[in-house]
Amino acid sequence: MTKSAQPRQPRPADSADVMYAFAEGVLDEFFSDPDDLDNYAKLSRGGRGAGAKAGEKVSLGSMELSDHGEVALDILVGSPDIMLTVTHPRFKANITAHYDAGTATMTGARIVHIEGDRKKATRCAEKWFEQLALAGFDDDDENLDDALTALLSGGSSPFDGKSDPGEPPPPSPLDKAMVDALATALTREMKRKKPDMMAHHDGLLALEHSPQSLWPMLDGMVAACTASPRDDASINAWLFLLESQLTLIRYRIDRGWEWAARMAGDYQRKLIEIGHAGRVRPEDFSAMARALGESGIEVKPETREALADAGLALTAAEQRAELPELMRGLMDQMASAASSPFEVAAGLGEATRVMPSEIRCFMAHEFAGSSHAVLRDTVPLMLLSEEQDVRRAAAAALERTATPATMSPEALRRMIAVRNWVPEADRSAIDQAVRAARRKAVDCAQWPPAQDLMITASIIDGSGAQNVILTSRAGRKGVLAGILLKLGIGVADSWCDTGSSRRDINETLATLRHTGTASEVGRAYLDDAIQNAIAAGTTAGRPPGGALLQIAEVVGGADWRDQRLDIVAEAKRLFDALPADQRSPAAIGASLTRSGEWIDEEGFAESWFLDDAETRAIIMRAPRRDMVRAAHRLIAEAMPKRRAEWAERFVLLALRSRTATDRAQKAYANDFVILAHCLCGDGELQAIPLMVAIARHTADIARIARW
């Protein structure tokens, strides 16, 4: 294996180490040509056969770098020292080194001089180091496919030769070896007192580069479920892997990759075959089916029915006779174990996520007429189901049982609260249930007092996702809640624990802040972001889920409605509120120049790139290795369609930064405002440096991305 095809070493952290790693990468790339290496050997020995005199300075060659950089290589004839001169608009650096052709390693390196912006020099060197680490793979597309798998799984996987570079190959023995090793490590982790699954981050990251490993994972799960003796930790480890890989596949489905949708369909078909064959216990089959729901993969109604049939292993007649009794038994268990309707709703969602919707409709009516108050109080939360027939069944059940004896004041309050959280087509049924409750004199409870919670929000990443964490400020136990917002989708996920330990609260905040993109923000931003997300969800036919209602009750969100931000109007309001001197053409230009450097200089912008099938196709149409042409194509063809999305992102980030307590985060507010103002105008995208940088970043990522 050549050096350029070896697994990449961890990125160096020290600034000098970064420069040395970059220099070695340059030499590896340059001397991959045997003629260049032969020329260096002749010149270092005194120039015989190379047409040069001892002591004469001779150019070995030069290399263009991204971000307007260049490196030149020179040698004094008769000396093994290679002089690398790195030039960039912001800095200049000189490094000397020897190169050992036998071992393909750099020796005797020394930084002679650096002038200019040293911070920029380190960041550029780090970026160039990453690019050079894979530069040798560009010469042959099939080598690139093989090598990327080798980088992350420790081996190679044959590429099937199709024109689509994102089509995963069949799983190889090395893919199986990778997931077996990872499952073993996770099993050990599961047996610890406090498992830390993220301690295996590198191995889990490899899953993204080998989606075909889903199939050895499914085989491994079946083997673990049928092993004797049974090892629950091993089963849970395999289940964790399945859920992780299915989630990564769902990301690709969302981004338009046809192969990902086919793979999800194949998983469902294989699962049905496993169920019908009776190869695993019903509870294990149910867990494997729930992994689909946990990953967010949409399951068609007919597939839900097939999964339920396979999992229960009953005939249609047996299902009609036995299913209601099974469900009532489950209801009794839920009622005895749960302390609140929110717990029941969460458990119900987990237990029935991929079951036919008829089962949840049946349970809505059964809950409404139950003798257990906690089950009756769960029905208003079912108004937030993702499935319209379940929402309507819940509304009908509530209208039927709208009496003081069967509907609590809290249930009525919650019905009213979520009325504007569901699609408009479903609101009339809720209105009828509310009117029935008022006619029967059902009392409406007051909202509980709002708790003083700290609100911590991350930057909105390249996929449009933002994490918002709400925590109690003091006390040994308190609230730990999370909301995942996503542009165009709304509230993608939410959860709330009102009895978390201070240790868990602190660890969660530390993890979020470790990313360097999180800051405490004001309540005004929470209200704006949540209501904007609720509106996006109602438009998409996707209510936010019951946990958001629990969060609203804790934080005092009685007024949360489906209220979408008018992005153009908000951008204008924010821009007009800037001091006059910051709205001048010169100030706007300076701001755009600053934000244009974020991709290279700020960690929060690392994920700002386009990642979907259409984008990859546009890049593929550009000449290979011509990243400038690829970026131009993206700006012309892909990015205009995303203009409104990026404007919304920057309006929200401006609002976030204005309320941030962290000074560094607050300092970005005006630059976000100006970006939003420009994107809401009719100027060319090429005139916005950050958008150009995002296009180039997208092309760079696509150059090394596998899937």
Per-residue pLDDT tens for 11-60? 334 567 778 888 888 888 888 788 888 888 888 887 666 677 777 889 99
Q: Is the pLDDT assigned to residue 82 strictly greater than 60?
A: yes
Tell me the mean pLDDT in the region 396-416: 97
- Cα 344 to Cα 350: distance, rounded to the nearest angstrom: 10
Segments of the chain assigned to CATH 1.25.40: 145-312
For residues 402 and 440, is the Cβ–Cβ distance under 8 A?
Answer: yes
pLDDT at 315: 43
In the chain, pLDDT over 70 holds for what percent of residues? 87
Q: Return the minimum-mean-pLDDT range out of 200-209, 338-347, 350-359, 425-434.
A: 200-209
pLDDT at 198: 64
Instruction: State the pLDDT confidence band at 623, using cuts at 50, 70 and 90.
Output: confident
pLDDT at 4: 33
Q: Return the minimum-mean-pLDDT range out of 125-129, 235-239, 272-276, 583-587.
A: 125-129
Question: Which amino acid type is present at position 432?
Answer: Q
Q: Residue 700's CB: how many other CB atoms inside 10 A? A: 19
pLDDT at 154: 39
pLDDT at 42: 85
Tell me the mean pLDDT in the region 114-129: 84
Which carries the bigger pLDDT value, residue 704 or residue 168?
Answer: 168
pTM exceeding 0.85: no
In the chain, pLDDT over 90 holds for what percent of residues? 51
533-551 confidence digits (pLDDT tens): 999 999 999 999 899 999 9
Q: Is the pLDDT assigned to residue 668 strictly greater than 60?
A: yes
Q: What is the largest CA-CA distance in the chain?
A: 105
Q: Is the pLDDT assigned to residue 418 strictly greater than 80?
A: yes
Q: Which helix (H) or strand (E) holds 421?
A: none
Structure tokens at 467: 């994490």
pLDDT at 487: 95
Instruction: State the pLDDT confidence band at 707, using cuts at 50, 70 and 90.
Output: low
Tell me the mean pLDDT in the region 157-163: 34
Phi, psi dihedral angles at 495 (to 5 degrees): -155, 155
Residue 161 per-residue DSSP state: -
Tell me the mean pLDDT in the region 437-459: 96
Instruction: State the pLDDT confidence band at 139, using cuts at 50, 70 and 90.
Output: very low
pLDDT at 686: 94
How does the average pLDDT of the chain come out, rounded?
85
88: helix, strand or coil: strand
Tell me the mean pLDDT in the region 91-119: 82
Fold of 145-312: 1.25.40
Distance from chain centroid for Cα 342: 26
Q: What is the residue whose two structure tokens read 């990453």?
A: 130
Q: Which helix (H) or strand (E) holds 510?
A: helix 502-514
Tell me the mean pLDDT in the region 362-390: 93
Distance from chain centroid for Cα 252: 11
- Cα dist. 441→256, 405, 412, 434, 479 in Å? 51, 11, 11, 11, 34
Q: Which helix (H) or strand (E) holds 454?
A: strand 453-457
Instruction: State the pLDDT confidence band at 317, using cuts at 50, 70 and 90.
Output: very low
Strands (E), 510-663: 519-520
Instruction: State the pLDDT confidence band at 3, using cuts at 50, 70 and 90.
Output: very low
pLDDT at 322: 59
Q: Return the minimum-mean-pLDDT range out of 1-15, 35-49, 66-80, 454-468.
A: 1-15
Tell me the mean pLDDT in the region 517-530: 95
Q: Is the pLDDT assigned to residue 149 strictly greater than 50?
A: no
Q: Which helix (H) or strand (E) holds 499?
A: strand 490-501
Q: Is the pLDDT assigned to residue 135 strictly greater than 60?
A: no
Tell me the mean pLDDT in the region 398-422: 96
Which carries the bigger pLDDT value, residue 650 or residue 613?
Answer: 650
Q: Is the pLDDT assigned to residue 704 strictly greater than 70?
A: no
Calculate the dihedral angle through the C-alpha atoms of 305, 356, 211, 702, rounding to the nearest 10 degrees.
Answer: 130
593-608 confidence digits (pLDDT tens): 999 999 988 889 989 9
Cα angle for residues 215, 216, 219 (degrees, 5° grid)? 90
Q: Which of 104, 133, 131 lies closest to 34, judged by CA?
A: 104
- Cα 195 to Cα 188: distance, rounded to the nearest angstrom: 9
Tell me the mean pLDDT in the region 157-181: 68
For residues 458 and 517, is the Cβ–Cβ distance under 8 A?
Answer: yes
pLDDT at 68: 84
pLDDT at 133: 59
Range ranked top by mean pLDDT from 199-203, 610-614, 688-692: 688-692
Q: Is the pLDDT assigned to residue 170 strictly greater than 80?
A: yes
Tell me the mean pLDDT in the region 183-209: 78
686-695 confidence digits (pLDDT tens): 999 999 999 9
- Cα 505 to Cα 522: distance, rounded to the nearest angstrom: 19
497: helix, strand or coil: strand
Q: Is the pLDDT assigned to residue 61 strictly greater than 70?
A: yes
Structure tokens at 346: 């969460």
Q: Is the pLDDT assigned to residue 486 strictly greater than 80?
A: yes
Q: What is the DSSP string of 32-78?
A: TSHHHHHHHHHHHTT-TTTT--TT-EEEEEEEEETTTEEEEEEEETT
Strands 82-88 and 91-100: antiparallel
Instruction: State the pLDDT confidence band at 78, using cuts at 50, 70 and 90.
Output: confident
- Cα 699 to Cα 159: distance, rounded to the nearest angstrom: 22
